[in-house]
Amino acid sequence: MYQALVRKDSQFEGIFFAAIKTTGIFCRPSCRARKPKPENVEYFASVKEAMDHGYRPCKVCRPLQMKGHAPEWLQGLLREVRDNPEARIKDWQLESRGLNASRVRRWFQKHYGMTFQAYQRMLRLNQAFGQIKYGERVTEAAFQNGYDSLSGFGEAFKKNTGFAPSHSQDKTLITITRIETPLGPMLAGATEGGVCLLEFTDRRMLETQLERLKKYLKAELLPGDSPHFAGLNRQLQAYFAGCLMTFSLPLVLPGTDFQQQVWNALQAIPYGETRSYGQQAEAIGNPAAVRAVARANGDNRIAIIIPCHRVIGADGKLTGYGGGLWRKQRLLDLERGGELIG
C-alpha cells in the first residue's frame, strides 16, 4: 500500500485510504501531496474508519468526494450544456464566465477523452440524430443545432456516426454517459429501449464490450443524455446507500440464447446471497456447462444490475470480476449489510 501511495497509483482507488499521523489527515492512494515516511502512515478500508480514528480529509485529493466527481467550479457549465445541447460555447466565453479554458479542456480530456469543444459537438450530433430519426428534416436539424452549412453538418455527422444524416431513421444510437459511484466512475449506455451498458470505466474489456454492442445492435455511440439515465442514476444511488435491493429498469440485452439464460439466472440470485458457478449451471438446467456459464458471466455488460458479482467459487473464494475483485468484495459486503464508503 505504501508503494501504491508513492506511485500515486489510481488503480488502488477505493481499496484503501492512507492516514498521515504527523498531519492528522487522510488521503486517497493517488493523492498528489508530498509523501510521508512509511512509519508515519496507517491504512483504513473506508472513509468512516479514518474519521473514526480522528483523521481529517485531505484538501488536495478530497477523499470524501466520489472518484470522477465533477468539481464545483465545473458543475454550472455541465448543467448549461446538458440543458442546452445546441449551445456553442467558445473559449473566450468560458473565460467571461470566470473559467480557465485550458483547465476546462484538461478536465474533459482526462474524464471524457476529448476536448470541451469536441464534447459539445457530440451532444449536438446526438440531438440532431434523434430529431432526424423521428421526422425532422436534415436541413432543419443542422441549423437548429448550430451548424452554419449543410455540408459541414453532413461531414461531421458521418465522421462521428459512420453514416449520412439521411440514413438516421434506419439506424440505432447508443447514448453514453459517465455515472459517478462510490466505487469509481462507470460508463452507461442506453438505446431508446433501455439500458444496454453499465461498466466501470477502468475495465479492461470495456472497448471489446462497446464493439460487441455496436455489432449486435447495428448501432453507433455518441455522448449525450437519455431518458433512462435519470432513473439509472437514482436507483444506483439508492443501491449504494443500502436502500434498494432490486432494480426496475428496462434493459437491452443482445446475446445468444445461452447468454440470455445465464443473465436471467444471475438476476434470480437474491440480494445478499451468493451462488457458485456450478449452482448457476444447475439453475439453467445444464449442470455440465460450468465453464460456459463462467464465460457468459464475464460477457455481462450491465454490472451490478445483472449481479454477476454474486457468483463465487465453489470453495467460497472470490473469482474473476471485470471490475476487479476488490469491487466484488465491496459489493458483497454492502449487500450483506455493511457500509461501503463514508
Q: Where are the alpha helices (DSSP H) in 44-162?
A: 47-52, 72-83, 91-96, 101-112, 116-133, 138-144, 150-161
308: annotated active-site residue: yes
Instruction: State whether the Cα torsion 176-177-180-183 is positive or negative.
Output: positive
Give the angle 103-236-284 at the CA atoms, nearest 5°: 130
Distinct helix (H) and strand (E) counts, the chain = 14, 10
SS3 335: helix
Q: How is residue 34 annotated by DSSP?
A: P
User: What does the DSSP assignment read for 112-142?
Assistant: HSS-HHHHHHHHHHHHHHHHHHTT--HHHHH
Which amino acid would we find at residue 313?
Answer: G
Q: Choosing from 27, 58, 196, 308, which is the catalytic residue? A: 308
316 phi, psi to nearest 5 deg: 90, -5
Three-state secondary-structure class, residue 236: helix
Q: Is 171 in contact with 233 (CB distance < 8 Å)?
A: no
As a whole number of Å, the CA-based R_g of the chain is 22
Cα torsion angle, 22, 28, 33, 34, sign: positive
- CA 38 vs CA 33, 46, 49, 105, 165: distances in Å: 15, 20, 19, 36, 59
d(CA 318, CA 328): 8
Where in the sequence numbering do the catalytic residues fall?
A: 308
